[in-house]
Chain A
Amino acid sequence: MTKQTTHTTDVAIIGAGPVGLFSVFQCGMLKMSTHVIDALPATGGQCTALYPEKPIFDIPASPNITGADLIERLEEQIKPFNPVFHLDQQVVALENQSGNWHLTTAAGLTVSAKAVIIAAGAGAFGPNKPPLADIEKYENKTVHYLIQNRELFRDQRIVIAGGGDSAVDWALALADIAAETYVVHRRERFRALPESVAQMHALAEQGKIELVIPYQLASLEGKGDQLSAVHVKTLKGEDRRLEADHLLSFFGLVNKLGPINDWGLDVHNGLIIVEPTTCATSVDGIFAVGDIAGYPHKLKLILSGFSEVAQAAHAAFRVVHPDEALHFEHSTSSGIPTL
């Protein structure tokens, strides 16, 4: 943790997916201010991270809209409410301090809120880490999921694992400066730009890269945080030991519920169990909506999430303003309130 900054708001929203974004709208219509936190550097959750170009056909009144366009429109719709975004940081702790909820992020930021809406989907997006024993002790030193400085690999022996664009692009970018470059992949086909794959094969023919196929990662060998070898194996059980100083692991993004498991909520098979008419969780003042909210016959649909948000925002109003009348109005009567 670096710096300590505390923000105060009516409602803190965990997750900036479509459902988290629409939470801003529904809270705003009830004049509640919002801060939104997401582990990803961009808003949009699954729509942005997994299928920005795919058309969605079941958003009411939008016969055909791509994931990216849906997010853009939601952003436009919530703009009048001036939500404050804290991106690229996972919420790691949620505690009640004298009646207010304190959320702490991995970047050391604190948001204090009267109510919390969890719109965390399947959990925070983060690197898909191979389940190898002791991998944590090498992470960010000699095992990498993200490359910031290619010079780190000059004259080093590197193992690149994965079969997508990141693996192929980094193999091309590092083959010249690394001492040895191994690319470990489980099958012949790579899911990457065909031209890049062709270039990689050409480098392999020149002996600048060794393609270690069809192998999977098996284990790591090293001392302290310094890797010395990567063990790989085939499905048939053949082993190879690749002497290496660094492992670059590119298996895309996965969701991890992570800290959400520790917040005293009723969590079952990755879902936070809620009372469906209010989306209240088992803890007072905390609501869950969208893909992460579980109740009988739940449908993981964006439109269900939108409806849950309306229910949750009205229930949250009673927490944020316990002594104020909750007056129901259509948007056609109220217009867009100013906060």
Chain B
Amino acid sequence: MPKITFIKVDGERVETDAKVGNTVMEVAKELDLPMLAACGGALACATCQVVVDEEWYEKTGEVSEDEEDLLDTAHDLTPTSRLCCQIPITDDLDGLVVSLTPMG
């Protein structure tokens, strides 16, 4: 199973084995990490915003036009900001590191 590391806002690192087929958001929720993900992955809330480690950004895949549209309503974006309900876990993501953002 691909290993995923979440870095919390306070710097704490949480490592987990993720199931292929889930999204990064689902993995974070399963771990009960501080993330709202209020719309449950419906691409309607932007509260699952993360910053992907630069080395991994390309591997997380294309950002869809709908995700770009919703990112327009997010704040404090970085060049590797993503909505993590839109990142499906694949074997290629073994080692992925993402940082959580403040819960608003």
Q: Which residues of A contact B (CB under 8 A)?
A: 46, 50-51, 122-123, 128, 130-131, 162-164, 185-187, 189, 191, 216-217, 235, 251-252, 254-256, 269-270, 291, 300
**A251 with B77: CB separation less than 8 A:** no
**B32 with A251: CB separation less than 8 A:** no
Contact check: which of B34, B38, B72, B79 meets A255 at CB < 8 Å?
A: B38
- Counting contact residues on chain B (CB < 8 A from A), the size range is 20 to 34
Contact check: which of B38, B44, B72 meets A163 at CB < 8 Å?
A: B72
**B75 with A251: CB separation less than 8 A:** yes
Asked whether A122 and B73 contact (CB < 8 A) given A50-B44, A235-B78, the answer is: no
**B36 with A187: CB separation less than 8 A:** no
Closest 6 CB pairs of A and B: A122-B38, A163-B72, A300-B40, A251-B73, A252-B73, A270-B36
Instruction: Name 13 interchain pairs, CB-CB below 8 A, sorted by A.
Output: A46-B44, A50-B39, A122-B45, A130-B75, A163-B72, A186-B72, A187-B68, A251-B72, A254-B47, A255-B38, A269-B34, A269-B36, A270-B38
4 extra interface residue pairs, beta carbon distance < 8 Å, beyond A235-B78, A269-B35: A187-B68, A216-B76, A269-B32, A269-B36
Report B57 CB to chain A, min CB distance, Å: 12
Q: B68 contacts which chain A residues (CB < 8 A)?
A: 187, 189
Q: How far apart are the CA atoms of A163 and B38 in the complex, in Å?
A: 22
Closest to A132 in B: B75
Report A19 CB to chain B, min CB distance, Å: 14
Contact check: which of B39, B72, B75 meets A217 at CB < 8 Å?
A: B75
Report A294 CB to chain B, min CB distance, Å: 11
Q: How far apart are the CA atoms of A122 and B42 in the complex, in Å?
A: 13
Q: How far apart are the CA atoms of A51 and B66 in the complex, in Å?
A: 14
**B75 with A51: CB separation less than 8 A:** no
Report B59 CB to chain A, min CB distance, Å: 20
Contact check: which of A46, A122, A130, A164 meets B72 at CB < 8 Å?
A: A164
**Is residue B69 contacting chain A, with contact meaning CB distance below 8 A?**
yes
Asked whether A235 and B39 contact (CB < 8 A) given A122-B45, A187-B68, A255-B45, the answer is: no
**A216 with B75: CB separation less than 8 A:** yes
